[in-house]
Amino acid sequence: MPLYYYRENVGGMVELLAAMNDVGVTQFVYSSSAAVYGTPSANPIYEDAQLAPDSPYGETKVVGEWLSRNAGLADGVSWVALRYFNVAGAASDDLGDNSINNLIPMVFRALALGERPQIFGDDYPTADGTCIRDYIHVADLADAHVVAAARCESSRSAEIFNVGRGVGSSVREVMDTIGSVIGRDVEPEVVARRVGDPPASTAATDRIEKALGWRATHDLRAMVASAWSAWQAFPPN
């Protein structure tokens, strides 16, 4: 798996930048990730926080930011990197998230199979003992790309922005919200922690709000409701 991430995210980025150079494309928005921060020393996380990725995926996203910066310095490319936090929800029913690695569809799948969804550890130093993440609706993320692209067009840009709500939600809060939306109790099974899961990760959004005038507009319930609507419309096999 590490080689896969390096091949796709680093090798693919090199190929993209080379192709851009060949045809004279001078602007792009890079999809980075909060994974570049690893386990943060403090929350919320600002863009100038230390980069300490603790996964191969996060490492490749750091390299992608380096490549973006160097393309700007060497070739005059205007770029913006967006560090996604936890993307959730669906912009339409035919664009649902069925990934078994993401919390909300993972819960839906477990319930559909008559199983108890799992919580990986409930002894973290948080209010309810479960991990806290900053969830961002995919439609808000799309809007962030639009304003980032406009930034690249209007000026010579070399900027990095967090993309989140600036609000943390715990795993248990997400499951409670799912239960409220679907109208049934969600009784999770607590299992051992996963290696590398930080207790909390929330975005500082001051920079993108001030520079681009962007702010997320969807709350957690809207994310869950849209994801549930998509799941019901197109249930995975």
- 57 counts as catalytic: yes
CA 120/CA 37 separation, integer angstroms: 21
**CA separation (Å) from 157 to 28, 53, 77, 78, 152?**
10, 25, 8, 5, 6
57, 84, 124, 135: the catalytic one is 57
Residue 77, burial from CB neighbour count under 10 angstroms (0-12, 13-18, 19+): buried
Task: Residue 106: name the closest of 118, 124, 94 by CA.
Answer: 118
Report whether 30 contacts 84 (CB < 8 A).
Answer: no
Measured CA angle at 234 (ends 233, 237), to 5 deg: 145
- Would you please indicate which residues are annotated as catalytic (active-site) residues? 57
